[in-house]
Amino acid sequence: MKLVYSFALRSYYLLLKLIAPFNSRARLFLNARSKDSYKGKYPQGKEVLWIHCASHGEYETAKPIISRYCHAYHIHLTFYSPSGYNFASNNTSDWDSIEYLPIDIASEVSTYIDKVNPTAVIIIQYEFWYNLLMTLNAKSIPVAFYGITFRQDYFLFKPVIAFLAKAVNTCKLMLVKDEVSQTLASQHFDCPVHLAGEVRWLSSLNNIKVPPTKPLTVTTATDIPVITLASAWKEDIKLWKPTLIHYATFCHILIAPHDLSLENLVVFEAILDMRLTRRSANEVITLNSPGITLLDTLGELKYLYKYSALSYIGGGLGSGLHNCIEAAVHLNPILVAGDITLNPEVDSLIAAGLATHVNSSEELDAAIKLHLAANYDLAYRTYIDDQVATCNSVYSALDNFLN
């Protein structure tokens, strides 16, 4: 299987080269690695803590770790995805250097590790690269995984992939999100396993304190509830259509599409059979009267949750449920639909009575009425305090790992 892995990896990169002239994503991926991607300063008297993130989402997860250890270590970030690299390279607080992860070929990985010379490596979530892990282990460089969720049928637990599980088992610490993952990890791996909770609570709470790069002008009214549809897909809009048209007569509905392309915005309008007010066409975000606003701008949603009385998080009816924590830290009751099996944070919110899973327009309408009539502030604050306590307990495990 190791030979199959190496062959598949080399074939994948060859395919990227073949399609790059016709595919912008493949071209961006290869061009980024064809030149020196190192940005930042070089270590000067500090040990190097290497933190690897696949993309932007993992970088957001890593921010609390970066903030905690940036004074004691030179923080070196690597990324697999151009989107993550580009975002982080334009947000230079706390990290010291940034670069793309090399292709997982043993000789290239070994050369790269010698260049970085890390004291330790923290890998955020699911970057299980065989040659990287085995080479780090051979060089006696400890590795920790941070923020993992496992389920019984996870691919690492299958016999055919045992070689990769062996590489993962070389890590010195595994920080998992929930008790199910903790039990499974303890059964399959020999390394210490620690319950980390959902680490995005820390980064989302920190994000509240960071003002937007461009000031937002928002008008609101206390008697006009705001309902947010976040990361919405066309399947979500179809579910919401009869409910949305009704509530838009006395609430303000804020729709934030996952796909901001003009073609997708037109699809939303076609489903609803109406023209929608677009945020990009207005300097002021007007939430003080009933109606619908289409949030067709990037990066503003997390600052608008604070005006919302209720949030629906999309994706469960399609590609997978999106992040609900950015809404939850603003004490928004949460509505979700479809598949939530890989979202333990939603399961936890549902168990606490702070989120509701709906399967139809009728259930959606009933859930909206229930949540708009209730006040969850005290229960929500208590719940968040518990989540934060669990997340903060991780730092003692990381401190021991690094020492």
Asked whether residue 357 carries a pLDDT value surpassing 90, the answer given is yes
Asked whether residue 360 carries a pLDDT value surpassing 90, the answer given is yes
Alpha-carbon gap, residue 37 to 356, rounded angstroms: 44
Structure token digits, residue 166: 């062996």
Percent helix, strand, coil in the chain (nearest 5)?
A: 45, 20, 35
Give the amino acid at 41: K
Strand partners, 356: 335
Give the amino acid at 195: L
Alpha-carbon gap, residue 80 to 216, rounded angstroms: 32
Alpha-carbon gap, residue 282 to 288, rounded angstroms: 14
Q: Are 52 and 78 in contact (CB under 8 A)?
A: yes
Domain 218-383 superfamily per CATH: Glycogen Phosphorylase B; (3.40.50.2000)
CA 154 vs CA 41, 158, 159, 188, 303: distances in Å: 39, 7, 11, 11, 35
Alpha-carbon gap, residue 241 to 243, rounded angstroms: 6
Whole-number pLDDT of residue 214: 76
Q: What is the pLDDT of residues 196-252, one digit of tens each?
A: 888 788 878 888 888 887 778 899 988 999 999 999 999 999 999 999 999 999 999
Q: Are 293 and 285 in contact (CB under 8 A)?
A: yes
Structure token digits, residue 62: 């890593």
The whole-number average pLDDT for the span 10-36 is 79
User: If you count DSSP H runs as helices and E runs as strands, how many of each does the chain have, helices first?
Assistant: 16, 17
This prediction's pTM: 0.76
The whole-number average pLDDT for the span 8-22 is 83
The whole-number average pLDDT for the span 106-112 is 92
- Phi and psi torsions of 317, nearest 5°: -90, 0
Whole-number pLDDT of residue 21: 83
Whole-number pLDDT of residue 200: 81
The whole-number average pLDDT for the span 84-98 is 86
Q: Are 29 and 82 in contact (CB under 8 A)?
A: yes
Adjacency order of strands within the sheet including 74-79? 39-40, 97-100, 74-79, 48-53, 120-124, 143-148, 173-176, 193-195
Domain boundaries defined on the chain: 32-208+391-402, 218-383
- Residue 251's SS3 state is coil
Alpha-carbon gap, residue 258 to 167, rounded angstroms: 35
Q: Which residue has the higher pLDDT, 113 or 149?
A: 113
The whole-number average pLDDT for the span 246-263 is 94
Asked whether residue 362 carries a pLDDT value surpassing 90, the answer given is yes
To which residue do tokens 């151009």 refer? Answer: 82
Alpha-carbon gap, residue 294 to 304, rounded angstroms: 13
Q: What is the pLDDT of residues 155-212, one digit of tens each?
A: 999 998 899 999 999 999 999 988 889 999 999 999 999 998 887 888 788 888 888 8
- Sort 381 into a burial class: Cβ within 10 Å, 0-12 / 13-18 / 19+: exposed
Structure token digits, residue 161: 């992939």
32-208+391-402 classified as CATH 3.40.50.11720: yes
User: Binning pLDDT at 50, 70 and 90, where does residue 30 land?
Assistant: confident
- Sort 158 into a burial class: Cβ within 10 Å, 0-12 / 13-18 / 19+: exposed
Whole-number pLDDT of residue 82: 83
Do 218-383 and 32-208+391-402 fall under one CATH topology? yes
Alpha-carbon gap, residue 53 to 179, rounded angstroms: 23
Structure token digits, residue 109: 């990985």
